């Protein structure tokens, strides 16, 4: 049986659709912005948006004065969409084209944000690799914001199976080095006017 090629799948998604058409598109990532601001990190601290691709979160963070921003995505097409949109401002962003399970962080990040990737990792081995990368990237007292499909939410996205999470299930995967300090539910309306139930978890690394 042929193994699933994650990169090929996501490159095809962004070849076939505008970022404005994908189901997870948010015109205003207000929940993420609020949670990031609630951490109290400094404007000069390093932030990485995992699976950020064509998301406008990095634009909004720049607009709020955050200076050291990184975007990681498996799709070169998604990154190119964002770079074109940002224009000259893209030169101030650290761009990483990589599969998160194989990412080698070039330095530590005060905050790790992911609204796009974690719930697609259906294999335990991939989840374990993700957590190990996150531990290398985020130091003690660092912040993590993970948004996932919630229990009772979608069972598939972009034609792929996903994993739904609540707080106990998430902590079981992440381990006892992480503590949830805030949990928020959100009903996301897709560009096709369908509801998707998300849960946002703000954590700290102990």
DSSP string, 167-196: HHHHHHHH-TTEEEEEEEEEEEEPTTS-EE
Q: What global pTM score does this model have?
A: 0.89
Q: How far apart are CA 155 and CA 97, in angstroms?
A: 27
* pLDDT for residue 186: 87
Convert the pLDDT of each residue in 131-176 to its tens digit.
999 999 999 999 999 999 999 877 777 777 889 999 999 999 999 9
* pLDDT for residue 6: 73
Convert the pLDDT of each residue in 24-70 to its tens digit.
566 789 999 999 999 999 999 999 999 998 889 999 999 999 999 99
Q: φ, ψ for residue 180 (rounded to 5)?
A: -80, 125
* pLDDT for residue 156: 76
Q: How far apart are CA 159 and CA 71, in angstroms?
A: 24
Looking at the chain, the whole-number percentage of residues with pLDDT higher than 70 is 86
User: Is the confidence at residue 1, as pLDDT, over 50?
Assistant: no
Q: For residue 145, list its beta bridge partners.
A: 113, 202
Q: How confident is the model at residue 113 (pLDDT cuts 50, 70, 90)?
A: very high
Q: For residue 49, list its beta bridge partners.
A: 71, 113
* pLDDT for residue 127: 97
Cβ distance 110 to 143 under 8 Å? yes
> Quick one: tokens of 123?
């294999």
Strands 46-50, 111-114: pairing is parallel
Cβ distance 52 to 71 under 8 Å? yes
> Domains along the chain?
7-12+27-205 (3.40.50.150)
């Amino acid at each position: 049986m042929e193994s699933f090629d994650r990169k090929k799948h996501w490159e095809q998604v962004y070849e076939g659709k505008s970022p404005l058409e994908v189901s997870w598109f948010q015109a205003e990532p207000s929940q993420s912005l609020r949670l990031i601001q609630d951490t109290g990190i400094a404007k000069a601290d390093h932030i990485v948006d995992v699976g950020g691709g064509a998301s406008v979160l990095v634009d909004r963070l720049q607009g709020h004065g955050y200076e050291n921003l990184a975007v990681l995505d498996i799709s070169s097409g998604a990154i190119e969409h964002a770079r074109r949109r940002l224009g000259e401002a893209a030169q101030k962003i650290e761009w990483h084209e990589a599969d998160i399970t194989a990412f080698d962080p070039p330095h530590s990040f005060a905050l790790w944000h992911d609204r796009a990737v974690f719930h697609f990792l259906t294999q335990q081995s991939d989840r374990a690799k993700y957590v190990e990368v996150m531990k290398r990237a985020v130091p003690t007292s660092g912040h993590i914001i993970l948004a996932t499909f919630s229990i009772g939410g979608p069972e598939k996205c972009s034609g792929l199976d996903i994993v739904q999470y609540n707080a106990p299930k998430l902590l079981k995967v992440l381990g006892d080095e992480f503590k949830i300090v805030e949990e928020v539910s959100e009903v996301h309306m897709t560009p096709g006017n369908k509801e998707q139930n998300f849960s946002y978890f703000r954590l700290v690394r102990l």
